[in-house]
Amino acid sequence: MFKNKGIHFEVSERKILLRILDLVIVFLGVYALSLCFDFEYLKVSADNSIAIVLLGVYISVFGTIFELYDLQKASRLDTTFKNIVITISTVVLFYLLTPVLSPFLPDERLQIVYFYFTLIISILLWRLIYINLIESPRFYKRVLLVGEVSKIEGLIKALDTTDPNYKIVGFINSEIPSSESVRFKGVKEFESKNILQIIDKEGVSEILIASFNPEAITDDVYHHLMLLLERGFKLRDYTQVYEELLQKVPIQFIGKDFYKYFPFSRSNENQLYIFFHRTFDILFSIIGLLLGALLLPFILVGNVIGNKGPLFYFQERVGKNSEKFNIIKLRTMVINAEEHGVTWAKKNDTRITAFGKFLRRSRLDEIPQFYNVLKGDMSIIGPRPERPFFVDELSRVIPFYQTRHIIKPGLTGWAQVSTRYGSSVDDSLTKLQYDLYYIKHRSVFLDFSIIIKTLSTILYYRGQ
C-alpha cells in the first residue's frame, strides 16, 4: 500500500475551520477578558445566550461581507488584518445599536474599548496561526495530472491561482508521444510506468485525469490507473475539480457528452423554492423602489449637474426563454452614445458621464430595475440580461450560451459577484461559466451567498 500521504484540508474544510475557530477564539477572548479584568459588558454564560449568539451571527455575516473567509485573502496577513479591523468595527457598531438583544451599555464606557480590541486581537492571533500552519507547505494537497500534453498548460493555469494549497507536482502524458509532440516545461513530466514510485516520492494524494479523448489514453496509462483504482487511490475527473474549486462550469472542456455536465439544480423544478424565490423578489423589489424614491432628489441633482439630459434609459434585453423585454436603468452614458453603432462597454469608457461613473460604481443605476423584477421580467438573482445584438453574436462563438436563458435574468448574480464586467467575448465566456454554475447549483444557500457578496461589491465600490 501507499505511504502516509500527509494531511491536507479541502476548500470547504478550511472555510468551515476559519468560521468555527473565529467564533471559538472570540468567545474564549471575551471569557478571558472577564477573568482578568472587572469586565461586566458581556459575560460568557447561559444567561447571556441570546447576546452571545447575536455576536456570533454578526461576526459570521459581516465577516462574509468583508471577505474574511475568502481563502486567497485569508492567506495574506496584510489583507487579513485590514478585513479583521473593518469586520470587527462593523460588528461592534451593530452590536451597540441593538441593545434589546445585546447587553445594555455599561456605565464604564471604557469596557466597550476593551471589548473591541479583544475581538480584533483574538481573531488576529488565530489567523496568524492559520497562515503559518494551515497555509504552510506541509498541508498542501499534492496532485498528479494525467492528460494530453497540448492541454496541460491551460489546465494548470486554470487551477494554479485558485487555491494556494492545491499544488500540481507534475503530469503524465496520456497519449502516445511522437516526434511532433508539443513539449511543456511548466511542471515536471513523469513516466506512467513509475507512477507508484512517483506517488510515494512526491507525496501525491490525488490524481487528476484530464483526458478529453478517452480513446487516446494509452494502454500502459490505462493499466496503471486501473491498478491505482483497485488499491483505493483517489482518482478524480478534471471537470469535477475545476467546477468545485473555481465554482464555474468548464464549458471549454466539454464535448459531445455535454449532457453529463448539466444535471441542473432540482431547485429549478422545486415549486416551494420557486414560490419563496418569487416572494423574495417582490418584497425586495418593493424595498428597493422605496429606497430609490428616498434617493431620487439627490440623484436628480446629480443628473442635472453631471449627466445633463434624461434621467432614465430604456433598452431591449433578452429574458427567460429568449423573450425580449425593456430594461429600465438610470442613464450613465452621454446621449446618443451608440450613434456610431453598437459596441461593448469597457473600462474607462469615454461615453460614461462623470455622474454616470458614480452611479455605476455604487450600483445605483440598477435601482429602476426593481420595477422589472416586480413585473416579473427579471429576478433579484440570476444571469444578467444581455442585449439581443450581443446574444446573437455570442451564441455563434460560445457553446451553450443560450442555456443561460432557461431561468429569469437577475439584477445581480453569481457571475457579477465572481468576475469583472464583461467587455469582450472572452469575458462573456467566463461570465457564462459562472452563470451555468448558478443554474446548475442554485439554492437558498447560494442565493444568500450572492446577496452577501453583492453587498461586498457595493461597499467596496467595485461596480463598473
Q: Tell me, yes or no, whether 160 and 120 share the same domain.
A: no
Domain stop point among 134, 168, 199? 134
Q: Tell me, yes or no, whether 125 and 149 share the same domain.
A: no
Q: Tell me, yes or no, whether 38 and 164 share the same domain.
A: no
Looking at residue 2, what is its pLDDT?
56
Q: Tell me, yes or no, whether 347 and 385 share the same domain.
A: yes
Q: Is 322 left (phi over 0), alpha (psi -120 to 50) or beta?
A: left
Q: Which domain holds residue 361?
A: 266-459
Q: Tell me, yes or no, whether 301 and 381 share the same domain.
A: yes
> Which amino acid would we find at residue 3?
K
Q: Tell me, yes or no, whether 155 and 128 share the same domain.
A: no
In a domain, 378, yes or no: yes
Q: Tell me, yes or no, whether 356 and 454 share the same domain.
A: yes
In a domain, 44, yes or no: yes
Domain stop point among 198, 215, 246? 246
Please tell me the total count of domains within the chain: 3
Query: What sign has the CA pseudo-torsion 98, 101, 107, 112?
Result: negative
Q: Tell me, yes or no, whether 54 and 167 share the same domain.
A: no
Q: CB of 438 within 8 A of CB of 415? A: yes
In a domain, 78, yes or no: yes
**Of residues 205, 394, 240, 213, the one with CA closest to residue 318:** 394
In a domain, 420, yes or no: yes
Looking at residue 296, what is its pLDDT?
92
3-state secondary structure the chain: CCCCCCCCCCHHHHHHHHHHHHHHHHHHHHHHHHHHCCCCCCCCCHHHHHHHHHHHHHHHHHHHHCCCCCHHHHCCHHHHHHHHHHHHHHHHHHHHCCCCCCCCCCCCCHHHHHHHHHHHHHHHHHHHHHHHHHCCHHHCEEEEEEECHHHHHHHHHHHHCCCCCEEEEEEEECCCCCCCCCCCCCCEEECHHHHHHHHHHHCCCEEEEECCCHHHCCHHHHHHHHHHHHCCCCEEEHHHHHHHHHCCCCHHHCCCCHHHHCCCCHHHCCHHHHHHHHHHHHHHHHHHHHHHHHHHHHHHHHHHHHCCCCCEEEEEEECHHHCEEEEEEECCECCCCCCCCCCCCCCCCCCECHHHHHHHHHCHHHCCHHHHHHHCCCEEECCCCCCHHHHHHHHHHCCCHHHHHHCCCEEECHHHHHCCCCCCHHHHHHHHHHHHHHHHHCCHHHHHHHHHHHHHHHHCCCCC
Q: Tell me, yes or no, whether 145 and 127 share the same domain.
A: no
Q: Tell me, yes or no, whether 187 and 118 share the same domain.
A: no
In a domain, 5, yes or no: no
Q: CB of 176 within 8 A of CB of 218? A: yes
Q: Tell me, yes or no, whether 379 and 430 share the same domain.
A: yes
Q: Return per-residue pLDDT of the chain as tens, 464 residues.
A: 555 556 777 778 888 999 999 999 999 999 998 888 878 888 888 888 899 999 999 999 999 989 899 888 888 899 999 999 999 999 999 998 887 888 887 778 888 899 999 999 999 999 999 999 888 777 888 888 888 776 777 777 777 767 777 888 888 888 776 544 455 566 788 888 888 888 888 888 888 888 777 777 888 888 888 988 888 888 988 888 888 888 888 887 776 677 777 777 777 778 899 999 999 999 999 999 999 999 999 999 998 888 888 889 899 999 999 999 999 999 888 887 776 666 766 666 778 888 888 888 888 889 999 999 999 999 999 999 999 988 999 999 888 899 999 999 999 999 988 887 666 788 888 899 999 999 999 999 999 999 988 888 777 756 55
In a domain, 2, yes or no: no
What CATH number is associated with residue 219? 3.40.50.10700
In a domain, 336, yes or no: yes
In a domain, 326, yes or no: yes
Domain stop point among 134, 162, 180? 134
Q: Tell me, yes or no, whether 224 and 276 share the same domain.
A: no
